[in-house]
Every structure is written in structure tokens, then in C-alpha cells.
Structure 1
Amino acid sequence: MLLAVVALLWLLPGFFSLPPIDRDESRFAQSTRQMMQSGDLIDIHFQDVPRYKKPVGIYWLQAAANWVTGGSSDEPSIWRFRLPSLAAALAAILLTAWMGRLLFSPPVGFLAGLVLAAAPLFGIEIRQATTDAVLLALVLAAMVALLRVYLAEMRPAGSSPPGLGNALMFWIAIGAGILVKGPMILFFVGLTALALALLENRGRWLLRLYSLPGALLAALLAAPWFFAIMAKSGGAFVQQSIKHDFFDKILGAQEGHAGLPGYYAATLFLGLWPFALPVGLAMFRLARRRGEPEIRFCIAWLIPAWLILEMIPTKLPHYALPLYSGLALLTAYSISQNLSSISSSMPIWQRSLGYLNLGATIFIGLVIAGIGLWLPRFLGQPIDPLAWPYAFVIAAAMLIGSLMTARGRALQGVVCLLVASQLATLSVYGRLLPNLDVLWPSRIVAEAIRAYATCPAPRLASAGFNEPSLVFMLGTETQMTDPGQAAASLADHAGCRFALVTEEARAAFDAASAKAAVSTEILAQFDAFNYSKGDWQRLTLYAPGP
């Protein structure tokens, strides 16, 4: 209970105040909204386009969260759609602590839960209504069951063999994971089980998971929807989800998300900041303990999956999120054993890597500490007066904690690192991002339309700005169209129809309006930064003219 309450200090800042994030979150949330409107729990769409990239599980969870909290598909609140991610985040933290208790000790489990809660990659994903936090929780539920079976084999005198309930947890998590994100749970859990069997040169202990009946149970959980969507889509679901979404990512770089081997090792410095430092400094000492069952389990979990992810051409940081719990466990264990230090007795190449780790941690920490100062200036926005004290305290706590950790005072250092992480979370998610209006053009447009509209259900046609958050905030009937159709949409329903046009599309829009004799007037103009594309856009909001 204490861990859950403390973890909320990292999880809640910005959870309710951040607008819908482009593009994945807005697509998931809008598709759930349309499922709620249509009542079709099988065939999911974003506007008129089928959503066949992912299975249905996350949409069901988001719809259930809306129902439980009294949400409405007509006036959606993005935080309701994020509730499954928040619940999954708490579950993941507690499951990590449980694993730490089983592997090492209760204090190590508690600290591992805090390290996971503080990880920036974890914080980004739990604030979005997507599949990744839920997948992480389900992977960890299956990992706990696998770990209990493994420890019963490795410590026969100190552990009672887990029974049917443990196997049920394992296979229910597998079935639910398939419904949420297809075969990805099998990749992480199955690869860990295979690696352990090979490392121990025996695999009969896996039979304690009741493999055959358990696999049938998982199939029974997932199969009904898959059969239903196959029948309804005429096989299009398999074509899009398996071929285009899954195999295309394995065989080539998809949607411009390419990366070289080493990508996940490099992004670890930011994804696990500031705790990539202690686990990195302890890496070689941990490797010497690889014969211990506890360390071996973590190695089997982390190394094979990590190497395969590094070789897959399509790369995004959150693909490695299910490995961050294992890293949190090793981090907490390293701190408890005071393994995280740079010693003069180390070979010079190990010391060099240690100083590189220390330098990267400090550099990223200084960037995070100063983000409240340089990001508003980059975007031409006023700087929050509190950004200065935040930056100073974050930088000081991070520097002191990093140096203390590197000098062998890990327990004292971790307190400073946790303070730096918590203040950075509060500063970035709680104050900075929600208040930078130019980052949220869809929110600006939605507020302007509601201010000008004279009817309860205004409609927008957008030419050039096609982000899905606009659809979520203004309704399913929002049109993503060309300048000519945007001009034509203003012909009727004065006060209820609006057109949003980018600067690049204005000439074509004005020409189409003149040709069709459609009178228009400019209501507002906005300069906004489209972070999905990484560029500035000038947006002009039109209404029918007098």
C-alpha cells in the first residue's frame, strides 16, 4: 500500500491535464469512442477506416473505464481513456516489487518498484491511452508465475511448489496479452522460459505451469474475438495486423522508425534516467554473479529479448518497456549490495565505461533540469517563474546523487536521485507541458470553435492539418479533407460549420471558395508547433461569411 501511494507521486502529475497526444493515443481513444457510439465490440474503426493493427483488448478496457466512471462518448475526457494505463502502471509497480521480494528481499522489491515508477519511458507510456502499459502489466503477471516455478526448482528446500492458481495466473495473462497486443507477450515470456531452460540444461520444471491445458485456456480466451473479426473483416485483419504491422516491422523499417543496433542501449540513458547509472556501474559485478539463480533469471529475461530487439530494423523506445522491470530489479539489487561504484581496482576500460555512464547521466539530467527554461524560449512562450528553482534543485540533487553513487555511497545517492526524478516529473508533466498552448493546436482549435459556435454540435472540415487529436476533440464527423471540400463544407449551416486551413492550403481554399461563390470570414489564426511533424504551422479558422 505504501509503495502504491508513493508511486502515485510519479504517476499522477499531468495525467488529467495533458491534452490528447498525437498520434497513437488519439487514434486509440477515438476508436474506442466510436465503438461506444456504435455498440460494435468486434470491428473497430477510426472514422471510416478499420483499425486492424492491434487486437480489441485495449478498446474494451477503455470503454469499461468510461462506463465505470460515467463517461460519455459525446463529451469524452481523455483521462478516462487513460485509466487502464494508470491501473496497469500500478499493477506493474506492485508486480515488480513482488518479484524483487521473491528474488532478493522485500526492501529490494520496494526500491525496484520505485525505480520503475521513476523511469521516464514508463512515465511517458502510462500517461497515454495505448497498449504498452497494459502489456507490461500482463507480461509481469506471467513473469511472476514463471519465476515462482523457477525458484521452486532452484530452491526446493526454501519454496513450496506453486499450484494450479499460479498456472492460471500465467495462462490468463498470456491470453489477455494476446487480446491486447497480439504475440508480443509470447515474445518476452516465451523467450525467457526458453533461455532459462537452456541455461539450466533442463526444462521439465516448466511442466508445473500445466502447459497443454494452460495453452488451451489462453486460446479459449483469445480465439472467440479473433474468429469473429476474421469472419467480419473477410481476412483483412490478418493481412493488416500480422503482415503489415508485425512482419513488416521485423523485416524492414516501418513508418520511418529506423535505427541501428545499439539504439535501445543508447536510449536507456534517458528511458531509465537517472537509474541507468547504478545498474550500468554494477554491470560487470553482476555478470560475475551470473551463476546465482536470481541473477540468472534476470539475464534470461533481459539479454535474449534485448539482442533481438536491437536487430529488428523498426525501432521505437517503448518496444523495450517490458524489459525495464528487469532492469529496475537489477538496479535495486545493485544499490542494496553497494555494487554501483567506480573503483580504482577496476580495469581501466571498465572505469572508462563507468565515467562515460556517469557523464551521460549528468548531461541528460542537466537537459531535463533545464527543459522548463529552454523549451518555452524555443517555442516563443513565457517562462514559468517556478522553472528556475525547479531547475536548480533538480540539477543539484541529480549531481549529488550521481557522484555519491559513483563513489560507493549508493543508498544515500539513491535518495537524491529519487528527489531529482520526482521534481522533474512534477515540473515537466505537472506544470510545463500542459501549459504550453502552442504544443496543442487541436486544443486551441476546439476551444475557439466552442467559443464561436451558435449550435450544440458544430462541425469542422480541416485541410492540411490532419492530426487524430482533432477528431477526438471535435467529434467523429470532423472531416480531414482537401481545400476544395473544406470550402464547400461552409456553404450551409452558418454558425455550425467551420473550416481549418494551413498556410500551405490557403491559396487553394480561397480559390475554391471564390469559384463556388462561398462567402467566408476569418475567425482566428494560430501559430502552433506540430510535434508529430516537428515543424511550425499557421492555422486559419474560417466560418461562413455574412
Structure 2
Amino acid sequence: MCGRMRCVMMKTLRGSPWYALRELWRALAPSGALRCILVLRRKRANPAATDSATFHLPRGSMRRYHIVRAESRNMSASASETGRPRISPMQWALGVWLATLARSWLGGVLLIALCLAAYLPGLSDFPPIDGDEARYVEASRQMLAERTLEALVVPRIDGAPRLNKPPLIYWLQSASAWLLSGGDPARLSYPAALRGEATGQRTLTGSPPTRATTFTGGVGAWRLVSVVATLIAVLITWRLGLQMFAPPVAWLAALLLGGCFLCILDARLARTDQVLLACTAASQWALWHVWRSRPTPLRWVLALWVAIGLGILVKGPVTPAVAVLTVLALGVLTGDWSCLRRARIGLGVAILTLMIAPWVALVIRYVGWDTLWESLARETFGRGLSSIGGRGGPPGYHLVLLPGLFWPGGLLVVPAFLYALRRGLRRADETHVLAGDNRGGGVRAWPVWRLVRPGRPAEMFCLAWIVPAWIACELISTKLPHYTLPLFPPIALLVARAAWAGAAGTLPLVRSKAAAAGDASWVLIGLALLAGAPLYLAWRGALREEPGVVVALAATIILVVSLLMAAWVVVRQRRFVAALLIGCGVSTLGGYGLFQTVLPNLRKPWVNSEIVRDIARIDPAGARPLAAVGYYLESLEFLTGGRIERIAPAQLDAWLDRHPTGLAVAVEGAYHTAQPIRVVAREAGFNYIEGDSIVLDLIEPLTAAQADDQRRAPQATHVAAVHQRQQP
């Protein structure tokens, strides 16, 4: 059919949305290659308030709308006039179906299912990573083992208080381990893992007993907290997006948050980052209602302050700082500060006091005010004014990392930000400056010096959430990649909004030369993160050369590369929604290859796990004393269930005298003793904390008879007694 074809439909969507699809398809079927435009109008709404956009459906159930006009045009004429991509009736049908699904509870169930498919593979299949994760799980394990009020209030590692973070993460991890162990935490400890290997059964982690993670003490029970927190953040982003944008935008934003590379990584680590993300997202969701609702329901005020209190108990001032910066930005942009009154700050202070003061009082009782203040000052002022542990970077550090950490959403970060600026902030003309403007959140007057006026509240709120907090992250001295994670939900919302705008051809910069270079870099970043990183780790970490492992890794890499090529083709066609969906699938596959296939089967990085396996083989009952001589990492204590004692090299002789049946772990060549000993196991690997190779010896004292035998036949004894596995 040539020219234009117009059909007018006054059908009310009284039943299923499929009724509307059938009627529209009957009208547009003869022009299958035509572009269709829907104009949707809300029932009993002002006719002038019609929302006209391709795939941008107003909020509410489809039953609450009339199809007022369905207009289709010849594609060649439309493309020449507007330059917009071709939209077929089938694509419109998909948009309506997504709008219906994205609002219903089925949309939330689908998000949970997709996120679990991305997070659960490999969750328990690699040991705790030394550094932050090993410290968190070991402090939580000791808290759970002691079960005293002091242990609950003051987390400890090797007897030393760990107050650099508030206690909520330790409480959550301990509760998770207690629940998954059936109320018997000893089932997650070292002897239980030994029994699992002896009987050939799987451990509580679900890992095969021959894996390097047999003796991790069920570390998946600790990591599950991060998985649940990520799911909560994804669902909050979805619900917040439903109140800001169209349902497909909200659902895509939640998927982008859950499928980004940083969330797929952090959801498998027992750290505070994902719990902080959930608390910050919850507080900002409540803040949106406090800012927009007049009057504000009490439930949202309570939700705001409870979420801020939980955020403080997770990681101190981060969550309240994000909320305060957002309110300040909104007040400056709109000139309206009434949300401070609606937030009921007095009630909030009372809630925060009730939530935090009891813990502070108990900490002062057990460790003293000086110790608590020293920890608070080091973690707040110290991180802001100086680089702790050499973890710093220049301003722009987080901006450079954003395309990789937020992949695949990094595809549209720049166009999305410009699009949000154009919609959320508008240039103030002389009329608005002199007379004032009552739009955009209750603005009453505009000072002459103001250059912009409020635009759409959703985009403005997201910008107020992102920009001030991002600047603060760039200015503080200590920088780590995950510091900007609480800002990912609004970024996901803006990117999803831009992706659907790209389907309508209204997104800026997508046809420039810079956009073409950005598309190519997006594919290369995905290739490096999801295919290059597993291959590099397999090479450097000495992957176990088992046929099943090699085949699984090769198949994963082939699938990742193939899907990336498909995503490249789709991006060049400016089908951004499809490209982002493919990207989420690629990130899930890449996470499977990295965490399920590569990391559990590396030999060099998991030297502590390997030495603990040797201990289990020599001492299956778990009754012999253990010591770490001049070498200590928290993962070693966690893997042994807290049985290992930390001693200096000069104390080795005295310790062997007290424990004639003991086993000691020491770095090769870094210990000396006058007593007769023998090396019963030796493991070579890579210490990724120090960045160099390491060889660990497992030694035991000899009896007098064994010493005589060793002197008579040292070489034979060495060959018979030493179990040595040198890694390539």
C-alpha cells in the first residue's frame, strides 16, 4: 500500500490487551511494511494531555486507555521526513506486551529468575578472596561461633576488634550461615567438609568434594546475603522506574542494573557493597515520594529514615550523604525546599537515634570511646583526605571505569546523560526569570542569576541523584571501583529511557562519528571483560587441564564472541533495546565462564585452599593443632574453621615443643628450627595480595625414632614422606 493509510479505532481495552492487538493487526495487516504511530489517551483525562510516543506508554494498566488514533505511513516517506527507524506493527505489538508484562507481578518474577540465573552459578565454587571478602566472612564466622553479646557488638578477627565498618553486614552474614546450617553452624566448619570428602558426597556449598573449594566452610552461605541484596536493589529500581517512566523503561532499567558487570561480580562476593546498594536505592525511592507527594504519606517518611538508618549500619555516611546531596541539588534547581518539611527531620533524627545509639553505647562499653573514634575518623576523614592503602586515583577515575563496570549499559551513558539534561533541565528565558515558573516541583520564583529551570521531574531527580554524589566520589582521595555503585540505579533508568527514545529516533548523538567509535569501544570492552579476562586468568592461574573444564571454557568463549558480534550488528542498526538485552545475556554467560568454570579450577591463586586440602588429607579427624608461621591471611583461618594459630618464626620451636603432633604452615625458606621436622606437603602458587609467587610448606615435628630413620636414609625418607605438588 502506498501513500498514507489512516484508521480510527475507538475500542476500549476492556479485556485482555490481546484484544487491542488483534484489532490493530486487522487494520494494519495490509501494510505490513508500514510504520505505525499510536496515540494513547487516558480515560476521563484532559484531551490536551495526550501522550504520543512510539513505545512510550503512559503509566497504568492497558485497560485504562482508549486507542484514539492509529496512523500508519509509507515507510519511505516517513524515513525521509523524520529520519527515524522503521517500526513495524509486530514491533508495536511487542511494545504493548512488554508494557503489560513490565507492570505486573510477572515482570518482577521474571527479573528475579534472570538475576538468579546470573548470580547463582559458581557462587560457592571458589574460595573466599583474600582482602575485604575474607575479612568479612572470618569476622562473621567468629561472631557466629562465640554467640555472646560482646561478639555481636564488636566483630573481631584473630582477637582484634574490626570496627572499620558498622556491624549490620556481619549480622546478616551470620544469620544467613546460621539459617543455612539448620541452626548448627558447626556443619559449615572444617570437620563437616572433611566428612563430605570422605563419603564422596557434596558439601553444604553444593560443590563437588574434589574441587579446590571443598574446605571453604560453606562460603556460599555468607555470599548469599549479597545475592539477596542485589535482588532487592533490582526490584526497587523497577518499582521506582514505574513511577518515573513507562513500564518497559522501568523493566529494562532493572535488568540493566542486575546484569551489569559490577553487580554480577559483587553479587558473588561477601562484602558490603550490594547491601549498601539496596539500602541507598530504598532511601532514594522513599525520597522520590517525599519530594513528589503532597501531602506525603507517613509510610514513605518512615521508609526513608529506616532505609537511611540501615545504610548507616552498613557503611556509615554513604547513604545519608547521597540523600542529602540529592535534596540540596533539587532545592537549588527548583527553588522549592518544602520537601525538608515533609521529610519530618525531627522524626528522622529520633528514628536514627533509636537504630544506631544502642550499638554505639555497647561498643563504647566494650572497647572504649577512643578506639571507636579512631576507627570512625580513619574510615571517614582519613579516606576523604588521604589515600588509604595506596588505593587512590586522579579525578575522573570513576568516569573512566564506568563503561566497563556498567557494561552493557555503558553503551548509551553519554547520549542518555545529554538526553536527560535536555529533558530534565531547560534554559530559563527572560519571562521565567522575571515572572517565575510554577512548574517542575512547585517553583515559586526564579532569581536572575539562574540559567536553567526545571524540566521533567523524573530526569531531574535522577540527575540530582547522580551528579553531586559522583563529583564527591571523584574528589575524595581514596578511590575503589565500587564506590559509585549506589549511583547505578539512576544511571540504569536514564540509559533505559534513552534506549527506548532511540527506538523512536529522538536520541541525540547516535549517528555521529563519535557514536560509531563508542559503539566499537563498547564491543571491545565487552570482549575484554567477558572473554579476555577468563582466558587471561586461565593462563596466569594455571587452569586444571581437565577435558570438561577446557570444553566448557571454550564453549563459553565462543558463545560470548558470537553474541557480541550479533550485538554489534544490532547496534549499527540503532536497535538499542535489542543490543542491551543481548548484552545482558552476554554478561550472564561471561559471568558463568569466569565464576563457574575458570575460578574454581585455578591452581595458583588458591594456595591456601590447596594447603588446607593437604591438612585434611593428613588429619582427617581435624584433631591436630595448627599454626601459621610468619604467614597469615584471613582466608586461611576461615578455611580451617578458626583452628589455626598465628605465631612468629621465632616462636616455632616453643610451639612444636608444646604440640608434638601439630602441623605448621610456613613460607618456604622463611622458618628455622633446631628440632627435627619434615615437610609433609608443599604447595606453590601466586599471592595476589602481594603480587608475587609463593611456596607454602606444611611441616610436622619428628619423634626420636623418626629422626634417626631420617638421618640414616634421608633421601628415601624424603621421597616417601613428602607429598609435593609443584604448580607450573
Q: TM-score, normalised by structure 2?
A: 0.69
User: Secondary structure of the residue that 1:476 maps to in structure 2?
Assistant: coil
Are residue 52 (structure 1) and residue 163 (structure 2) matched?
Answer: yes
Deviations 1:121-165 (CA, angstroms, capped at 9, x unpaired): 112222222211111111111111111222336xxxxxxx54111
Question: Equivalent residue of 1:370, what SS?
Answer: helix
The one of 239, 242, 245 aligned to 1:98: 239
- In 2, the alpha carbon distance for the partners of 1:196 and 1:8 equals 36
1:371 and 2:533 matched? yes
Write the distance in 1 (CA, Å) between the matches of 2:118 and 2:280: 22
- The 3-state SS of whatever aligns with 1:465 is coil
SS at match of 1:385: helix
Pick closer, same or farther for the CA change 1:334–1:436 going to 2, 3 Å. same
Amino acid at match of 2:266: E
Question: Does the 8 Å CA contact 1:282/1:339 hold for their aligned counterparts?
Answer: no
Q: Quick one: which amino acid aligns to residue 268 of structure 2? A: R
> Hey, what's the Cα distance between the residues in 2 that align with 1:341 and 1:402?
18
Corresponding residue SS for 2:567: helix
- Which residue among 87, 95, 110 is the counterpart of 1:2? 110
Match among 495, 499, 510 for residue 664 of structure 2: 499
Task: Quote the residue 2:688 is aligned against.
Answer: 531
Over 3 Å counting, the alpha-carbon distance change for 1:372 and 1:251 in structure 2 is: closer
Contact residue 503 and residue 577 of structure 2 kept, 8 A = no
Cα shift at 1:272: 0.8
The offset of 1:12, in angstroms, is 1.0
CA shift in 2, pair 1:471/1:340, >3 Å: farther
Does residue 465 of the first structure (1) align with residue 635 of the second (2)? no
Of 286, 297, 309, 1:145 maps to: 286
The 2-side partners of 1:346 and 1:57 are apart by: 44
Which residue of structure 1 lines up, in the alignment, with residue 350 of structure 2?
Answer: 216
For 2:503 and 2:474, the matched residues in 1 are separated by: 27
SS at match of 2:271: coil
Find the partner of 2:468 among 295, 304, 307. Answer: 304
1:14 equivalenced with 2:126 (yes/no): no
CA distance change for structure 1 residues 539 and 199 in 2, over 3 Å: closer, same or farther? same
Is 1:135 the counterpart of 2:300 in the alignment?
A: no
Is 1:229 the counterpart of 2:340? The answer is: no
Q: Say which SS state the counterpart of residue 657 (structure 2) adopts.
A: coil
* Letter matched to residue 435 of structure 1: N
Moved beyond 4 Å, runs of 4+: 339-343
Q: 2-side partners of 1:266 and 1:536: how far apart?
A: 31
1:78 maps onto 2:219 in alignment: yes
In the alignment, what sits opposite 2:251? 110
Between the aligned partners of 2:458 and 2:128, the Cα distance in structure 1 is 41
Provide, for residues 486-528 of structure 1, a one-character-per-residue CA deviation record: whole Å limited to 9, x for no partner: 4543334444x2112223xx2x51xx312xxx22111111111
Aligned to 1:521, the other structure's residue is in SS state strand
SS of 1:438's partner is: coil
Residues 386 and 341 from structure 1, CA distance in 2 versus in 1: closer, same or farther, beyond 3 angstroms?
farther
Which residue identity does 2:115 align to in structure 1?
A
C-alpha distance in structure 1 between counterparts of 2:171 and 2:534, whole Å: 37
| Residue-by-residue CA offset, 1:378-397 (whole Å, 9 max, x unaligned) | 23333722222221221221
Seen in structure 2, the aligned counterparts of structure 1 residues 134 and 340 have a Cα distance that, compared at 3 Å, is farther
Deviation at 1:222, TM superposition (A): 1.0
Distance 2:493 2:509 in 1: 24
For 2:121, give the aligned amino acid. P
1:111-510 → structure 2 map (5 Å cutoff): 111-152=252-293, 161-290=295-424, 291-338=455-502, 346=509, 351=512, 353-367=514-528, 368-381=530-543, 382=545, 384-453=550-619, 455-495=621-661, 497-503=662-668, 506=669, 508-509=670-671
| Stretch moving more, 228-237 or 214-223 | 228-237
Q: Is the 8 A contact 2:261 2:407 kept in 1?
A: yes
Assess if the C-alpha contact under 8 Å between 1:34 and 1:46 holds in 2.
Answer: yes
Classify 1:144/1:456 alpha carbon distance in 2 versus 1 (closer, same or farther; 3 Å).
Answer: same
Report the Cα distance in structure 1 between the residues aligned to 2:504 and 2:580, rounded to whole angstroms: 11
Deviations 1:156-179 (A, max 9, x none): xxxxx5411111111111111111
Task: State percent identity of aligned pairs.
Answer: 32
Structure 2 residue 173 is matched with structure 1 residue 62:
yes
CA shift in 2, pair 1:281/1:355, >3 Å: farther
Change (3 A) 1:56 1:372: closer
Distance 2:131 2:235 in 1: 29
Q: Distance in 1 between matches of 2:698 and 2:406?
A: 42
Cα deviation, 1:460-486, whole Å, max 9, x if unaligned, reads 322343221001111334233332324
Say whether the 8 Å CA contact 1:32–1:62 is kept in structure 2.
yes
Q: 1:454 to 1:118 in 2, by over 3 A?
A: closer
1:354, CA displacement in angstroms?
Answer: 2.9
2:625/2:659 contact within 8 Å kept:
no
Label 1:330 to 1:42 Cα distance change in 2 as closer, same or farther (>3 A).
same
Tell me the C-alpha RMSD between the 2 structures: 2.3
The answer on whether the counterparts of 1:372 and 1:384 sit within 8 Å (CA) in structure 2 is no
Q: Would the alpha carbon gap of residues 437 and 216 (structure 1) be closer, same or farther in structure 2, given more than 3 Å must change?
A: same
1: distance between equivalents of 2:245 and 2:493?
9
Greater CA deviation, 440-449 or 482-491? 482-491
**Contact 1:280/1:357 (8 A) holds in 2:** no
Equivalent pairs counted in the alignment come to 527
Query: Secondary structure, in 3 states, of the residue corresponding to 1:41?
Result: helix
What is the identity, as a one-letter code, of the residue corresponding to 1:9? Answer: A
| Structure 2, unaligned runs of 5 or more | 1-108, 190-216, 425-454, 707-728
Distance 2:183 2:398 in 1: 38
CA distance in 2, matches of 1:165, 1:292: 25
Structure 2: how far apart are the matches of 1:255 and 1:483? 26
Task: Give the Å deviation of 1:311.
Answer: 1.0
The amino acid of 2:592's aligned partner reads L
Q: Distance in 2 between matches of 1:25 and 1:360?
A: 31
